[in-house]
């Protein structure tokens, strides 16, 4: 008898079957937004979100996290007052961070572009206290440009700073064959923001553009080698006078007639009477004599009008003009005469006679048409280069005057008679005789407070300019001390600290030593060259040296660390001079005298943030 099979049992309830049975169905939120209304009880909303998150897989949780993170971002600067937002940006010291911040949003970009932000950055990086900063502001004002931009200034300055380390490009290289020891040798150089003036032993003076490197003209007139040049910057870089109705510029018309009159008058005229009445209208205009006559007719004295400053001279042998519309060059050499040139036209304005031997050194005062020359005839002469006359002769040295430096109305001279003398330019009085060196003096530096002198006895002495007392005897060199520079700078790493007086010395032993004159201690002892140091110049960032080993080297002033060579090695380096964004190297290479002009100016596309 068949047996009926037992009924198949029902499946056992699963772990979620009770939940599915008793819980209502929750439709997708995207299909029914009313299931999760914003007006619901916050506790219920949180419980609902908790249940959802607990049921998500790790990949789904990652998706939720990446979706929610942007929703939680908040532009905190936009919720603050503009002044407070800019104040917060002021705590950023890295310009690259500011540039990246400008890419966050349009509002952030407008904040970052605010002039207050970049003005502070200029202060932090020390870009607000150099001559280029002041010059750029003056040019913008005089050329009727828009208001000076701290942001643009910082961009150019920062990239220029980077170019000193890694970049720069050669503007021009000029070569002169050296057929004899007296042919093509470069003896002196002067630099400002517009021109580079180079004196040569072949009696010529070459003028180059500091902006393009192109040779502007050659000044021909000296009969023998040129040993000293000074460049007087046309003050303020005002607008040039337009050509007259005849189509000739004032500087050009009548120049030849002026020179004929000068040559004819020199024979029987005492130079103390002045030569300005022999000048053509163009030359009078170049020297600013018309403005001087107008001031005199109003009862004003030209020297009272000129603002005498205590600004020290610079290592570039350029000086601030007295308001004349043209750049002026003053030169002297083995033919014993001082010549005054108009750079714009290339004409010789004055030929000033008086010295009886080679003129060895020249300086020009800031804001005054006063030049001082030192000669192998053991005298110094003070000249009025605007009126063309010798004001006075400074006598006292017993041997050749080898070097001099000026500050305000004081001049310091160093001589082969082992002494330095401090003179008053306006009275001709010898204020102090500085005795202490045992051999000839080859270099002096003067900042208005201290005087530094170096010479053949391998020592450097520091003097008090007010009393003539020797403050310190600095040693470290083993040969002739032939290069000196004295300046005070605030360290870039600590812009809030007071300026520190620094003395840099270069010797024939190839060493460069920097001293702190606050403590009279050695800051850095640098083995810069394998032979004599022929050029030395520094500012608060860079120390540039040239040597007879044919190398031009760049060091950090604050640390003394070597950075790089600025030029290809040659046979020897005669002169190196630099401004903020240009460097001129005069050297001998492959038997030729070479003048290289390097641009380090910051531009977009060269260097970069």
pLDDT at residue 18 tops 80 = no
Q: What is the pLDDT of residue 495?
A: 74
All domains of the chain in start order, with CATH:
77-159 (1.20.1280.50), 478-573 (2.40.10.480)
Q: What is the pLDDT of residue 605?
A: 41
What average pLDDT score do residues 184-203 get?
A: 93
pLDDT at residue 423 tops 90 = yes
What average pLDDT score do residues 307-315 get?
A: 73
d(Cα 377, Cα 379) in Å, to the nearest integer? 6
d(Cα 16, Cα 467) in Å, to the nearest integer? 103
- The burial of 275, by beta-carbon neighbours within 10 Å (0-12 exposed, 13-18 middle, 19 or more buried), is given as buried
Q: Residue for token digits 């440009």?
A: 145
d(Cα 366, Cα 385) in Å, to the nearest integer? 13
Q: Which residues pair with 583 in a beta bridge?
A: 578, 598
Q: What is the pLDDT of residue 300?
A: 41
**Which of 84-88, 191-195, 299-303 comes out lowest in average pLDDT?**
299-303
* Run of H or E including 281: helix 281-287
Q: What is the pLDDT of residue 520?
A: 94
Give the distance from CA 312 to its chain's centroid: 15
Q: What is the pLDDT of residue 41?
A: 80
pLDDT at residue 129 tops 60 = yes
The DSSP-derived string for 107-169 is HHHHHHT-HHHHHHHHHHHTTTSSHHHHHHHHHHHHTT-SPP-HHHHHHHHHHHHHHHHH--E
pLDDT band at 241 (very low <50, low <70, confident <90, very high): very low
CA-based nearest residue to 407, from 356, 357, 445: 445
DSSP conformational letter for 183: S
**Taking the chain, what is the end-to-end CA distance rounded to the nearest angstrom?**
101
Q: What is the pLDDT of residue 16?
A: 46
Look over the chain and give the mean of its residue pLDDT values, rounded to a whole number. 83
Question: Are 544 and 530 within 8 A, CB to CB?
Answer: no
CA-based nearest residue to 329, from 213, 139, 191: 191
- The total number of residues written for the chain in this structure: 609
CA-based nearest residue to 331, from 314, 348, 354: 348
What average pLDDT score do residues 111-118 get?
A: 88
Q: What is the pLDDT of residue 278?
A: 86
How confident is the model over 44-103, as pLDDT tens digits? 888 888 888 899 999 988 988 888 887 777 777 887 888 888 888 888 888 888 888 888
pLDDT at residue 496 tops 70 = yes
pLDDT at residue 552 tops 70 = yes
Q: What is the pLDDT of residue 182?
A: 62
Q: What is the pLDDT of residue 152?
A: 85
Question: Are 235 and 320 within 8 A, CB to CB?
Answer: yes
Higher pLDDT, 135 or 562: 562
CA-based nearest residue to 367, from 190, 192, 234: 234
The radius of gyration of the chain from alpha carbons, rounded to an integer in Å, stands at 36
pLDDT at residue 15 tops 90 = no
Q: Assign 350 to helix, strand or coil.
A: strand
Q: What is the pLDDT of residue 543?
A: 96
Contacts of 442 (CB under 8 A, 6+ apart): 402, 403, 414, 454, 455, 456, 480, 481, 482
Percent of the chain past pLDDT 70, that is, above it, reads: 79
Q: Which residues pair with 577 in a beta bridge?
A: 584
Percent of the chain past pLDDT 90, that is, above it, reads: 53
Q: Residue 361 phi/psi, 5° resolution?
A: -155, 150
């Amino acid at each position: 008898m068949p047996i009926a099979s037992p009924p198949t049992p029902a499946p056992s309830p699963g772990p979620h079957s009770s939940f599915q049975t008793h819980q209502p169905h929750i439709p997708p939120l995207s299909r029914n937004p009313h299931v999760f209304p914003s007006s619901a009880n916050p506790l219920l909303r949180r419980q609902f979100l908790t249940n959802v998150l607990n049921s998500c897989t790790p990949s789904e949780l990652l998706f939720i996290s990446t979706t929610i993170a942007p929703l939680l971002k908040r532009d905190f600067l936009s919720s603050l007052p503009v002044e407070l937002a800019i104040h917060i940006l002021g705590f950023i010291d890295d310009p690259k961070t500011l540039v990246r911040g400008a890419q966050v949003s349009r509002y952030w970009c407008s904040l970052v572009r605010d002039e207050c932000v970049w003005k502070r950055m200029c202060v932090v990086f020390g870009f607000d206290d150099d001559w280029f900063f002041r010059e750029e502001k003056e040019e913008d004002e005089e050329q009727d440009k828009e208001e000076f931009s701290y942001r643009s200034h910082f961009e150019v300055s920062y990239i220029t700073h980077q170019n000193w380390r890694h970049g720069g490009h050669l503007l021009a290289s000029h070569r002169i064959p050296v057929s004899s020891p007296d042919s093509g040798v470069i003896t002196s150089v002067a630099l400002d923001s517009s021109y580079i003036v180079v004196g040569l032993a072949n009696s010529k003076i070459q003028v180059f553009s500091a902006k393009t490197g192109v040779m502007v003209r050659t000044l021909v007139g000296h009969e023998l080698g040129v040993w000293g040049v000074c460049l007087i910057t046309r003050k303020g870089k005002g607008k040039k006078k337009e050509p007259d109705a005849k189509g000739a510029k004032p500087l050009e018309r009548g120049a030849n007639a002026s020179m004929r009159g000068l040559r004819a008058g020199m024979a029987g005229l005492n130079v103390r009477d002045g030569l300005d009445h022999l000048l053509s209208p163009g030359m009078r205009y170049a020297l600013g004599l018309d403005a001087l006559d107008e001031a005199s007719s109003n009862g004003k004295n030209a020297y009272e009008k000129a603002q005498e400053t205590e600004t020290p001279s610079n290592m570039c042998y350029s000086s601030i003009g007295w308001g004349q519309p043209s750049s002026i060059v003053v030169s002297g050499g083995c033919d014993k005469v001082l010549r005054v040139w108009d750079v714009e036209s290339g004409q010789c304005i004055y030929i000033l006679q008086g010295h009886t031997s080679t003129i060895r050194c020249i300086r020009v005062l800031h804001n005054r048409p006063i030049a001082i020359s030192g000669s192998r005839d053991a005298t110094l002469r003070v000249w009025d280069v605007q009126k063309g006359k010798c004001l006075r002769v400074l006598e006292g040295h017993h041997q050749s005057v080898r070097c001099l430096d000026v500050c305000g109305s004081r001049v310091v001279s160093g001589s082969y008679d082992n002494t330095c003398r401090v003179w008053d330019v306006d009275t001709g009085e010898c204020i102090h005789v500085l005795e202490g060196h045992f051999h000839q003096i080859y270099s002096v530096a003067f900042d208005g407070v201290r005087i530094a002198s170096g010479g053949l006895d391998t020592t450097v002495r520091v003097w008090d300019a007010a009393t003539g007392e020797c403050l310190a005897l600095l040693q470290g060199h083993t040969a002739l001390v032939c290069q000196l520079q004295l300046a005070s700078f605030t360290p870039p790493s600590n812009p809030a600290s007071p300026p520190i007086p620094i003395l840099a010395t270069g010797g024939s032993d190839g060493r460069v030593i920097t001293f702190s004159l606050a403590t009279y201690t050695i800051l850095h002892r640098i083995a810069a060259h394998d032979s004599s140091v022929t050029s030395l110049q520094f500012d608060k960032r860079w120390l540039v040296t040239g040597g007879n080993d044919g190398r031009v080297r760049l060091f950090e002033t604050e640390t003394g660390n070597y950075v790089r060579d600025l030029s290809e090695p040659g046979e020897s380096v005669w002169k190196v001079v630099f401004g903020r964004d240009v460097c001129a190297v005069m050297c001998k290479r492959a038997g030729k005298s070479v003048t290289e002009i390097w641009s380090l100016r910051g531009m977009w596309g060269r260097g970069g943030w």
